[in-house]
Structure 1
């Protein structure tokens, strides 16, 4: 007669299976892929906060906007160093074209950096108004979108 597993044994098997699957998807935060994903998440969070202030989802706060623009300007300069010359292992949203057409990829990265610098410069124009910041932020978002369209695998 076959022996049946107890409830505790079944639960243990389920938990161990879940942990095993979770470990398979674990990303080394110090790997190039882990580093750039973390930076891109910070960039997204920062740009969403800035956009939220200009689109009325968050109250506009001049000091917070200036700080956010500075943070974004610093962040946009950093993920590119975490793209190795050869495609790395792991589940990446980057298309193969990143490595096949690095010149174009780097060109779009520089465009994003320039647009972000323009946004930061716009925060120095006083009095600072949301209306004056919409166009520079839209340019940053357009630069992000241009790179995503060519090089991100959705």
Structure 2
């Protein structure tokens, strides 16, 4: 998928979900796995671009970082609505601990969302000097959750 198509998809997703972001998101059990995997895929692509620029693997483009961080922040809570009881069956890498240690999972999700929020706040204000460390914090929070709750 090209960067332009990914950006359009991300912006469309954000606009389509803007109303849902202000209300409780309810995901049917039968759709939960696809919902959360799609949301995580989008987040991974957005963060991959930001982190690539932060690490110097991709040429820095501040406008792209701002746009990607804003969309990432807007959708950061979405995948965590995709874990209703009973959605542990099927083609998923989700560990049973997501449901058996729900409070721990919610805390990990909150920490990831907080790290993403800090990254977005900084780049929205044009503060790129800490991009590498802020991106590292997001990466650490994602890895922590993956290590604990993903097979």
> Could you tell me the TM-score, scaled by structure 1's length?
0.74
How far off its partner does 1:85 sit?
2.3
| Alpha-carbon displacement from aligned partner over 1:62-109 (angstroms, at most 9, x marks no partner) | 110000111111221100111012343211111111111101000100
Structure 2: how far apart are the matches of 1:84 and 1:137?
29
After TM superposition, the structure 1 = structure 2 runs for residues 5-154 of structure 1, keeping only pairs within 5 Å, are 31-126=31-126, 128-129=127-128, 131-153=129-151
The gaps in structure 1 that reach 5 residues or longer are 1-29
- 8 Å CA contact 1:87, 1:99 repeated in 2: no
- 8 Å CA contact 1:87, 1:96 repeated in 2: no
The gaps in structure 2 that reach 5 residues or longer are 1-29
How much is the aligned-residue C-alpha RMSD, in angstroms?
A: 1.4
- 8 Å CA contact 1:86, 1:99 repeated in 2: no
Q: Which has the larger radius of gyration?
A: 1
Residues matched between the structures, number: 122
